[in-house]
Amino acid sequence: MVVGTAILTSGVLFELLYRFRDAKSIVLKPNEHIGWEEAAHSPTERRFKTRLPIVNQNPYYEQTLVDVAGEVRVLTAVGCVSGEVRVRCVGGFEREDGYWQAQLLAPGEMLHCELHVTLRGATDALERATAAVVTLQYKTYGRRDLQTCTATVILPLARVKPLPQPRLGQRYAVQCVPTPILTAADDIVDVIDRQTADFRRPGDVVAVAESVVAITQGQYYEPQAVRPGFWAKRLCYFVPSKGSLSSPHGFELAMAQVGTVRMLMAFFVGAVGKLFGIKGLFYALAGQPAELIDDITGTMPPFDKYIVAGPVNARDVVDRIRAKTAMEAAIVDANDLKRVMVLAHTPGISADDLGRILIDNPFGNGDEQTPIVVLRALGGCEKGEATRDPIGTTG
């Protein structure tokens, strides 16, 4: 009996040791690329390159990066654009023929791969292409099974559209500001500084859509990278189908943002509140991070295939915008249901004022590509005078 108990106990301990060992593997980090460089350009062909880090996140075991390969899809308004991608290792077994030679990575080691993307098509189709979606498939091999993983990198292609005419309200002119498609390779502060440099004036206020701030911070996730746990798989069934938390992946990401204990408390208190006719307790207790989750289809292509979380350190972002541009700044979540949530703003303007000015949601997060708006007080001048001296001109 004693021997049998000892064997059973040893077996349980051995199994627990196996289950709780460090199982981190190699990860390709698409949101940490250095930005795209256009290497060549002709009427029917464009070539780009960038560099991505690949890290063995396991601190104890060597891992093998067996293979990396890619394919590309191009979003264009007319015609068709074909694309090809070649992946080259940098700092390891470098080959120019596109063949990836298996790489052994020491614990914590990083290497880089270089992506070379070539796009071909009719001139009009190339000119009107908005983005290319590069999907990388890579295989890792180590103490775990042979794993096949994917990562996606966005290549923005669209030229910035001309500045549209401002909208004139009772107290403010509202200037929508076009941008290229923004990704994690962009800094939203630099983008605002660059796109408003030609027309901003002292006293202007800049507001930026929260989803775009989040995207530039890398706060977007492929669903397969989010692994729903016990609670997310079950509680998502109690969320209305139009809500972003109605999928287990969206709910799990919210739990990661808010914390499991807080989300569970918010859910059960909210459920009890509904029994007594009290609505809104769930999001009031869970907080903004849960409310700001945008599930698949919640944003414009190519980010419509991602789950987008809310921005982090929103107050720091608006303070940086103000320091760089001298404009008062705000990060805003507005929709077409006349609902405006001001996540953060600098002291020079109130959230209530912003809510009233932006109630009609001037942000264009779709084909308009105007996620930034600049507000200028009309002061005592007549509307006709403001029209003759629009916000989009200098002087």
Per-residue pLDDT for 285 more than 60?
yes
pLDDT tens-digit map of 1-33 = 777 787 888 777 877 777 767 778 899 988 888
State the virtual CA torsion across 360, 358, 324, 183 in degrees, nearest 10.
-40
Q: For the residues 295-314, what does the mean pLDDT come to?
A: 88
Query: According to the model, what pLDDT value does residue 275 have?
Result: 87
Closest CA to 148 of 230, 44, 28, 47: 28
Q: What is the mean pLDDT of the chain?
A: 87
CB 51 within 8 A of CB 112: yes
Per-residue pLDDT for 261 more than 90?
yes
Domain 26-156 annotated CATH 2.60.40 = yes
Q: What is the CB-side half-sphere exposure of residue 349 using CA atoms within 13 A? A: 29
The contacts of residue 165 (CB under 8 Å, 6+ apart) are 390, 392
Question: Which pTM does this prediction carry?
Answer: 0.84
pLDDT tens-digit map of 350-384 = 899 898 888 888 887 666 688 999 999 886 444 43
> What's the pLDDT band for 96 if we cut at 50, 70, 90?
confident
Query: According to the model, what pLDDT value does residue 375 have?
Result: 94
CB 238 within 8 A of CB 271: yes
Q: For the residues 209-227, what does the mean pLDDT come to?
A: 91
Pairing of strands 81-90, 205-209: unpaired
Q: For the residues 238-262, what does the mean pLDDT come to?
A: 91
**Radius of gyration (Cα) for the chain, nearest Å?**
25
| Cα(319)–Cα(42) distance, integer angstroms | 41
Show me where the domains of the chain are located.
Answer: 26-156, 167-218+310-388, 220-308
CATH no., domain 167-218+310-388: 3.30.1330.100
pLDDT tens-digit map of 190-204 = 999 999 999 999 999
Q: For the residues 243-264, what does the mean pLDDT come to?
A: 93
pLDDT tens-digit map of 26-82 = 999 888 888 899 988 888 999 999 999 999 999 988 999 999 999 999 998 888 999
